[in-house]
């Protein structure tokens, strides 16, 4: 019976202990030395296991104080339309967004192709930061053909959700197709959500279709990995 290397096992043990609440959020886990001794590992191996868990956002190391267990991450579901606001509502957190750009632009060749409009048609372009408990979680870009949402100019999208605005315009978002990939932001964009430039983020890209199977929105968001997991349920 061969076994995984010990530090991989340690990672699984620590992961399970945080998952199951034996290590509660906010508490400090045993020191590197204690873990090394308890599991018969070198400090280097312990460090390797801790680094992976820090990367996943389960642990956070505080200079000179030790390694702490962070709170539960948000779970964004990948089966229900409703976007960030719905995710937040399900977690009983007040959704907040900070709009950086809300402006009209020309569709251009790419978004024309994706949204089935002419390259010279107007799109609403929204760039915003999604916050949870005041902390940035994601950077989001949304592209909507302007003719789909007349009156969009006058609506404060920090107050009303884009789904509200579809509703007022008789547009029913019925289906979305999304893909999740791992990506990196450029330094300026990374700073907007409080990241160092070289950290990996989850990139979510998707198109939403309405009751007439018309593409009504393309969105792309970059989510901090230490703040949010993505989950999907399936049924045969």
> Cβ-count burial of 78 within 10 angstroms (0-12 exposed, 13-18 middle, 19+ buried)?
middle
> Cβ-count burial of 231 within 10 angstroms (0-12 exposed, 13-18 middle, 19+ buried)?
exposed
For position 8 contacting another protein by CB under 8 A, the verdict is yes
CB of 45 to another protein, least distance (A): 9
C-alpha–C-alpha distance, residues 13 and 140, integer Å: 35
For position 79 contacting another protein by CB under 8 A, the verdict is yes
Nearest residue (CB) to another protein, 64 versus 201: 201
Binding to another protein, residues 94-123 (CB under 8 A):
101-105, 108-114
Site string for another protein, 27-66 (x = CB under 8 A): ---------------------xx-xx--xxx---------
Out of 47, 60, 91, 172, the residue judged to bind another protein by CB under 8 A: 172
Half-sphere exposure of 61 (CA within 13 A, CB side): 14
Nearest residue (CB) to another protein, 110 versus 118: 110
Q: Nearest-5° angle of CA 54, CA 70, CA 13?
A: 60
For position 213 contacting another protein by CB under 8 A, the verdict is no
Crossing angle (nearest 10°) for helices 32-39 and 6-19: 120
Out of 61, 93, 169, 225, the residue judged to bind another protein by CB under 8 A: 225
CB of 48 to another protein, least distance (A): 6
C-alpha–C-alpha distance, residues 186 and 222, integer Å: 11
Nearest residue (CB) to another protein, 65 versus 235: 235
Binding to another protein, residues 118-157 (CB under 8 A):
125, 153
Neighbours of 175 (CB within 10 A): 11
C-alpha–C-alpha distance, residues 23 and 121, integer Å: 54
> Cβ-count burial of 65 within 10 angstroms (0-12 exposed, 13-18 middle, 19+ buried)?
exposed
DSSP, collapsed to helix, strand or coil, labels residue 182 as strand
For position 182 contacting another protein by CB under 8 A, the verdict is yes
CB of 13 to another protein, least distance (A): 8
For position 214 contacting another protein by CB under 8 A, the verdict is no
Binding to another protein, residues 186-205 (CB under 8 A):
186, 200-203
Interface with another protein (CB under 8 A), residue total 76
Nearest residue (CB) to another protein, 66 versus 90: 90
Out of 11, 35, 46, 217, the residue judged to bind another protein by CB under 8 A: 11
């Amino acid at each position: 019976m061969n076994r995984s290397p010990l530090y991989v096992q340690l990672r699984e043990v620590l992961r399970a202990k945080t998952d199951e609440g034996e290590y509660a959020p906010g508490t400090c886990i045993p020191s590197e030395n204690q873990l090394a001794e308890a599991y018969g590992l070198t400090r280097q191996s312990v460090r390797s296991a801790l680094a992976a868990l820090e990367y996943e956002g389960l642990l956070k190391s505080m200079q000179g104080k030790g390694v702490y267990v962070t709170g539960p991450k948000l779970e964004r579901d990948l089966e229900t339309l409703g976007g960030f606001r719905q995710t937040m509502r399900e977690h009983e957190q007040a959704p907040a967004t900070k709009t950086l750009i809300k402006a009209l632009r020309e569709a251009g060749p790419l978004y024309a192709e994706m949204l089935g409009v002419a390259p010279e048609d107007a799109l609403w372009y929204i760039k915003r930061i999604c916050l949870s408990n005041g902390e940035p979680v994601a950077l989001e870009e949304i592209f909507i053909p302007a003719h789909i949402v007349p009156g969009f100019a006058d609506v404060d999208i920090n107050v009303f959700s884009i789904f509200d605005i579809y509703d007022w315009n008789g547009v029913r978002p019925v289906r979305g197709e999304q893909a999740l990939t791992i990506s990196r932001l450029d330094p300026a964009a990374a700073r907007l959500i409080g990241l160092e430039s070289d950290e990996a983020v989850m990139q979510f890209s998707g198109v939403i279709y309405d009751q007439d199977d018309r593409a009504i929105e393309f969105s792309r968001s970059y989510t901090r990995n230490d703040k949010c997991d993505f989950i999907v349920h399936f049924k045969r």
